[in-house]
Amino acid sequence: MKDMRDLDTEAAGILRANDRGGYSVPTAGLYPYQWNWDSAFAAYGYAFLDIDRAWVELETLFAGQWADGMVPHILFHKVDPSYFPGPDIWGGVGPVPSSGISQPPIAATMARLVWELDKEAGQARMAALFPKMVAWHRWFMAARDDGNGAICLTHPWEAGRDNAPDWDGPMKRIEPHGIAPYERRDTGHVDADMRPKKADYDRYLYLVKQGHDCGWDQAHLREVNPFRMADPTMTFSLLRATRDLIWIGEELGTSTEGLSDMVVRMESGAATLWNDTIAAYDVRDTKTGAWANAVSNAAFLCWYAGIDPKSTAHTYARVQSKVRFGVASHDPDSPAYEPKRYWRGPSWAMMNMLIAMGMDEAGLPEGAALRQQTADMIATGGFAEYFDPRDGAPAGGQNFTWTAAVWLGWCSPNVRRGRWAQSH
Ligand code: DGY
């Protein structure tokens, strides 16, 4: 294991190296653009190095907001051939070349953590961001409510959990016709065994083509898109972030009208995601009503969302007993579990942080244990994109922004802490 102070220096160096001037890339080569939730974590990490740079990260992200309020999952500030699919394939319709889908809305939660580190310095910047974040949350409610108050995704990349077994059933049903021949770039950067398979990519591109061809018309997509999953990642992150928005609005002394109604609606939506069979919150296919029957790390965001965890603690104890480093992204007891393949098993430092935040707030001792495991994982495997949860071996991309940010703000025993981390 490495010395903790070396890790602080390394983490700071990774944030600086991934800075492209006003925005961060998740890592050079594999992901050469600004990704939405990666960027929110980058802001959080920067808050411990350079608070002005933290605000700039969020401001650049919201500069890409579409007229309808959507904040895209990728902003293509400067074309880079090392990534596919690029801006021409997506055909985003916002002020900055972009993708056409969103990503888990954690920006308001991270903005709150940044602001809490220096309320006075951040006052005007938070006041300017607040209405943009509200507009984004309203867009989710208008475009992604499943009809019960649970929030849907319309592409596996929207949940960030690209190849999670949760999507296997609905993805198999898609016939990916009409996509142009393409060359993947991701497997030129990372071992193919750690990435999604070709069959997944064909379907990712098919879904992108559907959106591109209709100019990302949400009403049309609601009718034609075969992939519409009510999902714990989206529901829990939006619910949590909306609670944070209410807090922010009250602190700013500005109107929070409509936000409490969103919270109430999502609280009932979240309850509909409880699947008794697996004793966890689960993904439901809104087209068929079928459960994924998959225990994912997103299920453990229930505490973070501040909702009734039901018997999730038992399920958490079961899956945790099978691994040593953090929360496996898919149930280690499942036949679909692959501990090195992206979202089918590996442990993700930033998911561990969100899960533990919720546990800490709920007064559960598991949060502190999870922080220690995540720190040990990074000390063992470095600043990887994700890790094998059995031995902490690094997997995916290296020199990763969000892993460095999580180290700086949450894992490192040396770095000045924000109020939330201090009190837990
Ligand atoms: C990718 O290209 O792997 C990304 O996860 C898409 O967001």
Q: Which of 157, 186, 204 to mutate to test the pocket of ligand 1 (most atoms within 8 A of CB)?
A: 157
Residue whose Cα lies nearest atom 7 of ligand 1: it is 157
Q: How many Å lie between the centroid of ligand 1 and the Cα of residue 157? A: 6
Q: What is the pLDDT of residue 413?
A: 86
Q: What is the pTM of this model?
A: 0.97
Q: Which of 394, 405, 161 is CA-nearest to residue 294?
A: 161
Separation of alpha carbons 97 and 18, rounded Å: 20
Q: How many Å lie between the centroid of ligand 1 and the Cα of residue 323? A: 26
Q: How many Å lie between the centroid of ligand 1 and the Cα of residue 348? A: 15
What's phi and psi for 386, nearest 5 deg? -150, 175
Q: Report CA torsion sign: 351, 401, 109, 195.
A: negative
HEC string for 156-206: HHHCCCCCCHHHHHHHHHCCCCCCCCCCCCHHHHCCHHHCCCHHHHHHHHH
Which atom of ligand 1 lies nearest, measured to the CA of 85? Answer: 2
Active-site entry in 158, 186, 385, 388: 385
Contact (CB, 8 A) for 356 and 371: yes
- Give the pLDDT confidence of 147-160 residue by residue, as tens digits: 999 999 999 999 99
Which atom of ligand 1 lies nearest, measured to the CA of 157? Answer: 7
Q: Which of 27, 30, 31, 348 to mutate to test the pocket of ligand 1 (most atoms within 8 A of CB)?
A: 31
Q: How many Å lie between the centroid of ligand 1 and the Cα of residue 415? A: 30
Residue whose Cα lies nearest atom 4 of ligand 1: it is 157
Contacts of 102 (CB under 8 A, 6+ apart): 36, 70, 71, 72, 73, 136, 139, 140, 158
264's tokens: 């109430």
Q: What is the pLDDT of residue 423?
A: 45
Residue 113's CB is within 10 A of a number of other CB atoms, namely 22
Output the ligand 1 site: residues, CB below 6 A. 73, 157, 162, 186
Q: Which of 39, 162, 182 to mutate to test the pocket of ligand 1 (most atoms within 8 A of CB)?
A: 162
Q: CB-based burial of residue 3 (10 Å sphere; 0-12 exposed, 13-18 middle, 19+ buried)?
A: exposed
What's phi and psi for 237, nearest 5 deg? -70, -40
Q: Which of 87, 24, 110 is CA-nearest to residue 418?
A: 110
Q: How many Å lie between the centroid of ligand 1 and the Cα of residue 163? A: 10
- Give the pLDDT confidence of 3-43 residue by residue, as tens digits: 776 899 999 999 999 999 999 999 999 999 999 999 999 99
Q: What is the pLDDT of residue 416?
A: 58
Is 162 an annotated catalytic residue?
yes
**Interhelix angle 51-62/36-46, nearest 10 degrees:** 160
Is 391 an annotated catalytic residue?
no
Separation of alpha carbons 349 and 384, rounded Å: 9
Q: How many Å lie between the centroid of ligand 1 and the Cα of residue 152? A: 18
Active-site entry in 158, 162, 244, 388: 162
Q: What is the pLDDT of residue 417?
A: 55
Q: Which residues of the chain have pLDDT under 70?
A: 1-2, 5, 416-424
Q: How many Å lie between the centroid of ligand 1 and the Cα of residue 204? A: 10
Q: What is the pLDDT of residue 419?
A: 44
Q: Hey, what amino acid is at 108?
A: A
**3-class SS at 273?**
coil
Which atom of ligand 1 lies nearest, measured to the CA of 99? Answer: 7
227's tokens: 């992939």
Which atom of ligand 1 lies nearest, measured to the CA of 74? Answer: 7
